Structure 1
Amino acid sequence: MKLYYSPGACSLSPHIVAIEAGVLMELVRVDLGTGQTESGEDYRKINPDGYVPALVLADGDVLTEGPAIVQYLADQAVDKELAPVYGSRARYRLMQWLNFISTELHKTYSPLFDPRVPPDCKAQFTERLAERFAHVAAVLETQPYLMGERFSVADAYLFTVSSWAPHVGLDLSPWPALTAYQGRVAARPAVRQALAEEGLLK
């Protein structure tokens, strides 16, 4: 398998999950500015939408969208318990978290990274993002991970998007449970390995 990624982008989430699951794959870096891979390949021939991640399977089929990819990877190593069993109520709870992170956190960042968006509009999106993180922090005050006592693929995704906060001027320190969570996840060997492989460890 091949994982197409850009350092620190949402593709970091499946990168972490692959390492946690012990799934071997080739990493292919994508320059999102030029739309080319590190070997000069046109990335849009892999994913016509042009964004990461994309996972090319052994048979050549391509999966896109992080929440789908992380569930696929988790299901390749069921014994690692990175996702509840498919069809269980807990699996739907996981999907709930993945959708929340995708729609309420991840996409809310988009205008904050766009230089064309006026400052007053960015302020509104920052406020909305803070409200969503406050909700997450309230959950993490009662349990170490989003699904309870165990790390799951949802945590790989939340860790990734919460790490973008300093880049848009959002201070997460008002939520100690959230910052403690970031430190807890960052200390995991698989997370450290993924960060190192993407050149993100200082």
Structure 2
Amino acid sequence: MDVYFSPLACSLSTRITVYEAEAEDSVRLNRVNSKTQTLADGTDYRTINAKGLVPAVRADNGEVITENAAVLQYMADTFPKAGLAPAAGSIERYRLQQWLSFVGTELHKLVFNPLLSPKSNDGAKAYALEGAIERFDYLNSHLEGREYLIDHFSVADAYLIAVLNWAQFVGIDLAKWPAVAAYRDRVSARPAVARALKEEFTLYQAA
């Protein structure tokens, strides 16, 4: 299986998933240059994912899957012994999908994309910061008294920690939401997560 990533992008969640599943021997991690959209060997990444976005997974049979929520569930189902997603069709699986959707739409796209994009104007950034308050209030309320988004660590947590990592780059102080800040610290300390964060920070800084 080939996994395509860019350092500290949302594809960080796929690296976390690989390490949580102890699947390093089954997965090839391929870096995508986010500026040129090429791989290390010069291959145009858009020949693999026409959208040019990470992450993407290319299965051993050549099938390509894109969009983070789909990629993460595919990887969880490929390595089921890791227990990173509830059984398909169960109510717990729909809860997982609920949180993948929340992280992807309410945090990733609505809050962080405008704050991280150099194309965003001041109005867009102000709107994103205003929207962040309500969404982090909701997340904080959910995480009070909980270890993870659902009843155990899942690929939704891998996605959320990748997104929360961006707060430091856009001036969002998670200390305003104590349960979120505690969650970030707790999840970041997991061996697989800490390893993935360290490796991708190193790759990002070396770019």
**Cα distance, 1:32–1:83 mapped onto 2, change above 3 Å:** same
2:124 to 118, 121, 137: 121
Per-residue deviation at 1:85? 0.7
The two structures, once aligned, show a CA RMSD in angstroms of 1.5
Per-residue deviation at 1:157? 0.5
- Within 5 Å, give how 1:48-197 maps onto structure 2: 48-108=50-110, 109-148=112-151, 150-197=152-199
Per-residue deviation at 1:22? 2.1
Cα separation, 2, equivalents of 1:76 and 1:33: 31
Cα separation, 2, equivalents of 1:17 and 1:184: 17
Partner amino acid, structure 2, of 1:134: D
Per-residue deviation at 1:113? 1.8
**Which contiguous aligned blocks of 4+ residues in structure 1 show a shift greater than 3 angstroms?**
199-202
Q: Normalising by structure 1, what TM-score?
A: 0.94
Q: Which residue of structure 1 lines up, in the alignment, with residue 3 of structure 2?
A: 3
Cα separation, 1, equivalents of 2:155 and 2:117: 28
Aligned residues: 201
2:20 corresponds to 1:20: yes
Query: Structure 1, unaligned stretches of length 5 or more?
Result: none
Q: Normalising by structure 2, what TM-score?
A: 0.92
Q: Which moved more, 1:169-178 or 1:114-123?
A: 114-123
| SS of residue in 1 equivalent to 2:107 | helix
Per-residue deviation at 1:126? 1.1
Cα separation, 1, equivalents of 2:79 and 2:50: 29
Cα separation, 1, equivalents of 2:119 and 2:108: 18
Identical aligned residues as a percent: 49
Partner amino acid, structure 1, of 2:197: L
Partner amino acid, structure 2, of 1:13: S
Partner amino acid, structure 1, of 2:80: V
Query: Which structure is higher in helix share?
Result: 2
Query: Structure 2, unaligned stretches of length 5 or more?
Result: none
